């Protein structure tokens, strides 16, 4: 199984240790499982946007971790995050495999059972005192989307607040980028673009396609078409996924 091979290559021990070793080892396991899930949820290379088999591998490992470490809140937080994200897999691409943006997805295609499982896992993480854990906070973010019956009902102010908490827990330019996008939804594209412009000089985002893609989207909303077109093209040049590249170039043409 791909997930097991990855764990073996990373030399991550899968037995449950005791005492001081538990935190460090468990954190490594959770990180690897989430990396596996993310590669399935949004493939970085190749011709397909999704690799569902990887998501299933990661979910299976997450459920095993819950069984062997039931009192660890971040284990439940990670499972909640994966379940909630996986609930949208069936709506993330169209019949030809082209990506569909979150706000454009048909929410009737989201898996309601998987959403319920994810919300249950999030509740358990919070009951165990893990509401401020990195995975639980990310799960709470995704839960905001899962609870919104339609895209306009999304609680963007709550999402912005959760990203601020996540930034305190995990100071990361990627989290800051996502918070900027949330701010743009809550307060308008100008507010979000101002935050993204600050991040433009961040070295860790220099080759990160989502930064120019996010800027392009906000520039387009502000009617700055030529700038938006250039940013969509720059984003396309940074992605190694063929379908994502094609979508970005298509958006550049229509900007």
pLDDT in tens, 50-65: 999 999 999 999 999 9
DSSP state of 12: -
- Per residue in 84-99, pLDDT (tens digit) is 999 999 999 998 888 8
**CB hemisphere CA count around 214 (13 angstroms):** 27
In which element (H, E) is residue 217 found? helix 210-221
CA-based nearest residue to 132, from 79, 174, 169 = 169
In the predicted model, what is the mean pLDDT of residues 235-239?
Answer: 95
Q: What is the CA radius of gyration of the chain?
A: 19
| Lookup result for tokens 């990195």 | 134
pLDDT computed for residue 25 by the predictor? 83
Determine how many CB atoms are found less than 10 A away from the CB of residue 210: 16
pLDDT computed for residue 45 by the predictor? 79
Whole-angstrom distance, CA of residue 215 vs CA of residue 199: 10
Q: Give strand ranges (E) for 182-239.
A: none
CB 144 within 8 A of CB 159: yes
In the predicted model, what is the mean pLDDT of residues 4-33?
Answer: 69
Q: How far is CA 115 from CA 156, 189, 195, in A?
A: 19, 30, 31
pLDDT computed for residue 17 by the predictor? 58
More confident residue, 42 or 134: 134
Whole-angstrom distance, CA of residue 139 vs CA of residue 119: 8
Beta bridge mates, 46: 241
3-class secondary-structure state, position 46: strand
CB 218 within 8 A of CB 199: no
């Amino acid at each position: 199984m791909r997930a097991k091979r990855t764990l073996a290559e990373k030399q991550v021990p899968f037995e449950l240790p005791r005492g001081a070793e538990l935190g460090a080892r468990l954190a490594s396991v959770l990180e690897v499982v989430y990396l596996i899930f993310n590669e399935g949820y949004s493939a970085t290379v190749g011709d397909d946007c999704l690799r569902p088999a990887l998501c299933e591998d990661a979910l299976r490992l997450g459920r095993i971790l819950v069984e062997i470490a039931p009192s660890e809140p971040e284990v439940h937080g990670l499972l909640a995050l994966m379940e909630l994200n996986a609930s949208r897999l069936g709506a993330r691409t169209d019949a030809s495999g082209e990506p569909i943006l979150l706000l454009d997805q048909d929410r009737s295609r989201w898996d309601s059972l998987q959403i319920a499982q994810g919300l249950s896992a999030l509740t358990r993480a919070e009951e165990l005192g893990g509401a401020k854990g990195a995975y639980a906070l990310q799960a709470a973010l995704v839960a905001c989307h899962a609870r919104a019956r339609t895209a306009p009902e999304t609680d963007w102010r709550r999402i912005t607040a959760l990203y601020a908490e996540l930034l305190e827990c995990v100071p990361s330019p990627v989290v800051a980028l996502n918070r900027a996008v949330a701010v743009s939804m809550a307060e308008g594209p100008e507010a979000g673009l101002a935050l993204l412009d600050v991040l433009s000089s961040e070295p860790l985002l220099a080759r990160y396609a989502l930064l120019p893609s996010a800027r392009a989207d906000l520039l387009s909303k502000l009617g700055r078409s030529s700038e938006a077109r250039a940013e969509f093209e720059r984003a396309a040049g940074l992605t190694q996924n063929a379908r994502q590249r094609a979508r970005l170039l298509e958006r550049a043409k229509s900007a």
